[in-house]
Amino acid sequence: MTPPRRSDMSVRVALVTGANRGIGFEVCRQLAVRDVVVLLTARDAAKKLGNAGTVEPLGLDVADASSIEKKAAEVASRYGQLDVLVNNAGINYDTWETVENADINSTVMETIATNLLGPWRLCQAFLPLLRKSRAARIVNVSSESGSLAAMGAGPPAYQVTKAALNALTRTLAGELRGTRILVNAVCPGWVATDMGGAGAPRSVAEGAAGIVWAATLPDNGPTGGFFRDGKPLPW
């Protein structure tokens, strides 16, 4: 089947990072069955979702600025705009470290590059395309681990980068307030994924649903918020 192109203005296009498995993969599936054209940043995973709707591979390394710029140009060429950006890629739930002994040059820098700078660079690169949408949505997949309200000891690189991602969400939402772009952070909860572990109480489908909710908000929906299951969380 030939993928829809931007000449059909009813087509909505979403880019989801970190979608080769787990929550990101399920987000892609749930968006695809809603007739959203999904750009999934893993070729093999895209093939597995062929029956769900239109899912296209878009190889992209969120920790590589040049990769992001190249893929933004590719999406511009293929579609002319972007309607949904889901910054889902995240790494290093570093329970093996503390602030005192964390490996700053390895674990910490890697986590910053993926969990914070990746979404920041993606927002910069794709905002020109999101501005062309009639109703654009940016969803930063965060974690309640990044909530300052209840934060204590925990995986240091992960917690600090998720708190920073929340701050980026608030800052960007403030800059874009009054536009047609809504920006929110979503915590999927403790989900049974490779990172969450098999004993987690929430299914992948449950975790993904809150992200899809934020990705498909109506025009009068919230912006600059932090949510789980569509309900506000404390910052």
93 counts as catalytic: no
Beta strands in 23-109 (DSSP E): 36-40, 55-57, 84-87
Decide if 229 contacts 143 (C-beta within 8 A): no
**Cα(135)–Cα(182) distance, integer angstroms:** 8
Strand pairing class (84-87; 12-16): parallel
The candidate with the shortest Cα–Cα distance to 197, out of 95, 120, 57, 68, is 95
**Cα(217)–Cα(221) distance, integer angstroms:** 5
Selecting among 25, 93, 126, 158, the annotated active-site residue is: 158
Decide if 18 contacts 90 (C-beta within 8 A): yes
Decide if 71 contacts 48 (C-beta within 8 A): no
Active-site residues, by number, are 158
